Amino acid sequence: MKMDDISKILKARKIVVDKALNEILPKQVAAPKKLHKAMRYSVFSGGKRIRPILAIESCFCCGGKIRDVLRAACAIELVHTFSLIHDDLPSMDDDDYRRGKWTCHKKFDEATAILAGDGLLSLAFETLTTGGDSGIKVKLIRELTASTGSMGMIGGQCVDIEYDGRKKLPSILNYINLRKTGALIKAALKIGAIAAGADSKKIKTMGEFGKSIGGAFQIIDDILDNGDSVRGFGKEGAYKKARFLTEKAKDSLSIFSGKAGNLRAIADYLVERKI
């Protein structure tokens, strides 16, 4: 697939996700207004919606429809936004800007930013309690909570903060990357398959694909902002590693044959991206 074609698909999916997020989030006029304004500000601050799009494509690949996966896809983006707000806080990465806009605690204040993150995390799981089959909903919530929690993304952030400014051994760097970025990307792929009602083999395969592209995604992020992977492997070495992981990811999709075309194209897109 050409890069132009996949860009068009990503844009179309983003519109669908943004519309659903707008419906899921409490209105800006709903009390407490300041809190809902902050939650909305951060969710609509220019995210590319990669994680929800991966969930949607995974669901399609497993034979599901958009209505099976859309709320779960949005829940993943809410968790992602929660993590960005809290990671940016003064006691963590202390960032003033994200995607060229004020971070939540700069635009509002620190207490509001902490609570906006908390509110988004709670809303993510609430979103997963409506629509569809109860058995599937429980599985989706289990997957998303486990990948978010202290053994997943939140745990990765904790270790990242602990090693801030210190040289990280490859094992530590791997631990952080697998959790801080990898866990939610892997979960997105599995969630798409679970939402489609796929069997455990397909769910597992999507998890493997997600783990590999999650690793590649983090390396490319590091290349773009001169992060840990570049310091560890050099820029060329890092690119080589990201491309290797992308090929590995695409190979893991063989059981889906032609149906996985979009997922393979997104894997290529993510490793070639410049932002």
Nearer to a copy of itself, 24 or 220 (CB): 24
Cβ closer to a copy of itself: 96 or 162? Answer: 162
- Let me know if 215 is exposed, middle or buried by CB neighbors in 10 A (0-12, 13-18, 19+): buried
CB-nearer residue toward a copy of itself: 121 or 249 = 121
Q: Say whether residue 155 binds a copy of itself (CB under 8 A).
A: yes
**129 touching a copy of itself, by CB under 8 A:** yes
Stretch that binds a copy of itself, among 24-32, 186-194, 224-232, 254-262 (CB under 8 A): 24-32
End-to-end distance of the chain based on CA atoms, in angstroms?
Answer: 20
Q: Least distance (Å) from a copy of itself to the CB of residue 15?
A: 25
- Which positions from 53 to 82 touch a copy of itself by CB under 8 A, shown as an x/- string? -----------------------------x
| Listed residue (154, 144, 145) closest to 83, CA to CA | 154
| Minimum distance of a copy of itself from residue 160's CB (angstroms) | 10
Site string for a copy of itself, 158-197 (x = CB under 8 A): xx-xx------------x----------------------
What residue type is assigned to position 248 of the chain? K
β-bridge partners, 101: 98
Which backbone phi and psi does 227 adopt, to 5 degrees? -90, -165
Tokens (6 digits) for 99:
């995607």
In the complex, least distance from residue 218 CB atom to a copy of itself, rounded to whole angstroms? 18
**Pairwise CA distance, residues 218 & 108, whole Å:** 29
Residue 136: Cβ-neighbour burial (10 angstroms; 0-12, 13-18, 19+): middle
Position 252 contacts a copy of itself (CB under 8 A): no
DSSP per position, 137-181: HHHHHHHHHHHHSTTTHHHHHHHHHHTTTSPPPHHHHHHHHHHHT
Q: Which stretch binds a copy of itself (CB under 8 A): 11-19, 31-39, 183-191, 255-263?
A: 31-39
Q: Which of 9, 74, 86 is nearest to 47 (CA)?
A: 74
Q: Is 22 in the site for a copy of itself (CB under 8 A)?
A: no
* 6-14, 65-73, 86-94, 213-221 -> range binding a copy of itself (CB under 8 A): 86-94
By CB under 8 A, is residue 12 in contact with a copy of itself? no
Identify the bridge partners of residue 97 per DSSP, sorted by sequence position. Answer: 102
Distances (CA, A) of 225 to 83, 139, 228, 274: 19, 36, 9, 11
Q: Is the peptide bond before 32 cis (omega within 30 degrees of 0)?
A: yes
How many binding residues for a copy of itself (CB under 8 A)? 51
Site for a copy of itself in 96-115 (CB under 8 A): 109-112, 114-115
**In the complex, least distance from residue 162 CB atom to a copy of itself, rounded to whole angstroms:** 7
Per CB under 8 A, residues contacting a copy of itself are 26, 30-32, 34-36, 39, 82, 86, 89, 91-92, 109-112, 114-115, 117-119, 121-123, 125-126, 128-130, 134-135, 137-139, 141-142, 145-146, 148-151, 154-155, 157-159, 161-162, 175
